[in-house]
Amino acid sequence: MSRTVPLSRMRNIGIMAHIDAGKTTVSERILFYAGKTHKLGEVHDGAATMDWMEQERERGITITSAATTVMWKDHRITLIDTPGHVDFTVEVERSLRVLDGVIALFCAVGGVQPQSEKVWRQSEKYNVPKIAFVNKMDRVGADFFRVVEEIQEELGANAVPVVVPIGKEDQFRGLIDLIRMKAVFYADDTMGAEYREEEIPADKMEKARKWRAYLVEKCAEQGDDAILQKFFDTGDLSEAEILSILRKATIARRVVPVYCGSAFKNKGIQHLLDAVVRCLPAPNEIPPIICAREPEENRRNPTDEDPLSALAFKIMADKHMGKLTYVRVYSGTLRAGATVLNSTRDKPQRVGRILRMHANKQEAIEAAFCGDIVAIVGLMDTKTGDTICDENHPIHLEAIEFPAPVISISIAPESQADSEKLSHALARLADEDPTFVVSFDTETSETVISGMGELHLEIIVDRLKREFGVVARIGRPEVAYRETATAAVQGAYKHVKQSGGRGQYAHVYLELEPLPPGSGFEFVNGIVGGRIPAEFIPSVEKGVIAAMASGSYAGYPVVDMRVKLTDGSYHEVDSNDFAFREAGRAGFKELFAKAQPELLEPVMSLEVTMPEEFMGPVTSSICQRRGRIEQMEQQGGEKLIRAMAPLSEMFGYSNTLRTLTQGRGNFSMHFERYEAVPFAIAEQIIKRRREQNKIR
């Protein structure tokens, strides 16, 4: 099997946005206009092609990122539709890691919202070029130019409109193409599949000229000296020059072209597809892939001829195929039946079948080439973030970092007969989702599952029932509290044990010092003159790390600490690794209790929108939940409240808000940072922990 589409005519793109900005609706229009589907599937009808899970169709939200491939003007576009809900941020993270470009979607009413900022930051972390699409121009309160301004100011992007709308709200009729200086109107009787180009209406010409001049000026800034000189001489650039500069500047992440439309009303999507082809990079336009361990010596060029290198970015359990491993091929060719190396785990793996995905449907292919995103059957020992490569040319690609879970619940099967089925199902789900963690609490003999939020765990429990046939009982939600110190302390600890024969001896002198929030853990070896042999130093550090896993204040993990080993002593016969590890563990616990410890809790950034008449009850409810209201403003026809609130107080808030606003309020929240728990509440939490026998 040989390549059917040249590398230069391939695009690997994703759609990212705040929840309810219209990502899936845009995806459905792309499939329709590209000829992949022949009927428009709507999210509100539960018929969207890309939302194939039962839970997605029932709730009208995207839960898992779905991949599909379409053809547009002789270009093959692999599209990944990502979730907007913060509980499923893992899907955005791993998709952005393997994509070459992305469509950043914004609601014309909501503009830049909290999750918009989060996914934008995620894309910046992976240096992904972006084009922006302002959706829902038909909605009451839509304002294209305000959204462009917010993208520039709040996201710090060089946002440049390439089209401007003709009308807005219920008067939104089409758009003006500023590159070609033509008005575009979409035909309602063909579901927007056909459109006509006309001369720009006289009453819109002044606005068109103004924004065309802005576009040309921004392009001239990004051009070379000859382009700049032409701009100074004539004040204009040709269509070809504008397109060439836009492409280069977008790929270099110096410009973000902005388009607009209304996906639900079938307007603006074809121009967005044109922008994907014109502005976003092909796989051979991204930099060479470098080895995470040997960046200078080991790299792969994005060609079919270089040795194979690919990244496994998603695991999915398919009831017919078994385990599917989604991979992005960065170089070389991956063939069905071949043996490859999982360099992350140093294990050879056999490639079974290779599948090109269309949501939850598959098309078997013989080989995947450079730039392809495919699913593989057969990589049983591969996990998310693993590198797949040529056995004779190993390479380690940079892995994917995932956020830590913030909420936990206990889970148990309804019947003893389901116990084994539950363990198997939880292991399968944890394999799929790195932000879903399963652990066993030895103190209470409970299985504990942890995730990114209430909805995340609710979906997990629902999937256990539907996909694996396991009915489970769940316990009270537990927040992932942390502990830290507020004062520096120092002291010695001596571990001495004699029980006939060889004993145990270790003496350490430790200094504990709190670090700024988010700093993590730092161990400093301050031993001089061989007071403790070098081979025992790592044992002290291991003991300290073990002690930090369960703090002496409330039994939660300790964070943001520097521990310095400054002195100590040893015995020629009785000192060993175990003794020094125990000295480090017990010494840390003893000193930490004297370091004025405090409890930390996850604090969420909260955004609530509702009609103005419900402002009073909603603000009162937020304050009752220990929330701090930071901003109140008008957004379209609704009121917007931005606040900070502790996660522990936000359980069940969706039901409360629904009741307070007669079902007309919406909210979103995402993890912001850890903050100290008020002393009185901390005492209650510690008391409850002790009553539950979490600490003995």
What does the pLDDT look like over 180-225, one tens digit per residue? Answer: 999 988 876 666 667 888 898 888 899 999 999 999 999 888 878 8
Average pLDDT, the chain: 84
pLDDT at 82 over 80: no
Rounded CA separation 431/425 (Å): 10
Structure-token pair, residue 575: 């000192």
The residue-averaged pLDDT of 33-50 equals 56
Question: How many residues does this entry show for the chain?
Answer: 696
- The answer to whether 587 and 507 have CB atoms below 8 angstroms apart is no
CA-to-CA separations, 578 to 467, 522, 541, 569, in angstroms, rounded: 46, 21, 12, 15
- The pLDDT assigned to 52 comes to 42
Q: Is the pLDDT of residue 690 over 60?
A: yes
pLDDT at 147: 93
Q: Residue 447 pLDDT > 50, yes or no?
A: yes
Q: Is the pLDDT of residue 354 over 50?
A: yes
CB atoms within 10 A of CB 280: 25
Q: What is the pLDDT of residue 388?
A: 92
Mean pLDDT of 415-422: 81
Provide the residue type at 544 as one letter: V
At 383 the pLDDT is 87
Q: Report which of 72, 66, 70 is spatially closest to residue 49, judged by C-alpha positions.
A: 66
What percentage of the chain has pLDDT greater than the value 90?
28
Q: What is the mean pLDDT of residues 344-351?
A: 90
Higher pLDDT, 443 or 323: 323
pLDDT of residue 292: 67
3-state secondary structure of 65: coil
Checking if the pLDDT of 591 tops 90, the result is yes
Identify the band that residue 44 occupies on the pLDDT scale cut at 50, 70 and 90: very low
pTM, entire model: 0.70
Residue 192, pLDDT score = 66
* CB neighbour list of residue 139: distance below 8 Å, 6 or more residues apart: 107, 108, 109, 169, 262, 636
> What tokens appear for 172 in the block?
């939104």
Rounded average pLDDT over 21-29: 83
Q: Which residues of 487-521 are buried (b: 16+ CB within 10 A; e: fewer)?
A: eebeebbebeeeeeeeebbbbbbbbbbbeeeeeeb
Per-residue model confidence as pLDDT tens digits over 325-335:
889 999 999 99
DSSP structural state of residue 61: S
Return the HEC string of 464-527.
HHHHHCCCEEECCCEECCEEEECCCEEEEEEEEECCCCCCEEEEEEEEEEECCCCCCEEEEECC
Task: Check residue 51 and give its pLDDT.
Answer: 44
**Taking 60 as the threshold, does the pLDDT of residue 461 lie above it?**
yes
Q: Looking up tokens 């509440």, which residue turns up?
A: 681
Span 656-667, average pLDDT: 78
Highest mean pLDDT among 15-29, 46-60, 297-311, 327-341: 327-341
Residue 43: what pLDDT? 46
- Residue 587, pLDDT > 90, answer yes
> How is residue 369 written in tokens?
């080439």
- The residue among 523 and 528 whose pLDDT is bigger is 523
Q: Alpha-carbon distance 123 to 137, whole Å?
A: 25
Q: Which H or E run includes 669? A: strand 666-676
pLDDT number for residue 509? 93
Q: How confident is the model at residue 294 (pLDDT cuts 50, 70, 90)?
A: low
pLDDT of residue 172: 87
Instruction: Give me Rg for the CA atoms of the chain.
Output: 28
What letter would DSSP give residue 405?
A: P
- Say whether pLDDT at 45 is over 50: no
Query: For 232-272, what is each residue's pLDDT tens digit?
Result: 888 788 888 889 999 999 999 999 999 999 988 888 888 99
Q: Please, are residues 414 and 472 in contact by the beta-carbon 8 Å criterion?
A: yes
Span 592-622, pLDDT tens digits: 999 999 999 989 888 888 888 889 999 999 9
What one-character DSSP code corresponds to residue 162?
S
**Tens digits of per-residue pLDDT, 480-499?**
889 999 999 999 999 888 76
pLDDT band at residue 463 under the 50/70/90 scheme? confident
How far out from the chain centre does Cα 576 lie?
Answer: 44
Q: How confident is the model at residue 87 (pLDDT cuts 50, 70, 90)?
A: low
Distance CA 611, CA 662 (A): 10
Best mean pLDDT range from 62-66, 320-324, 535-539: 535-539
d(CA 245, CA 572) in angstroms, rounded, equals: 72
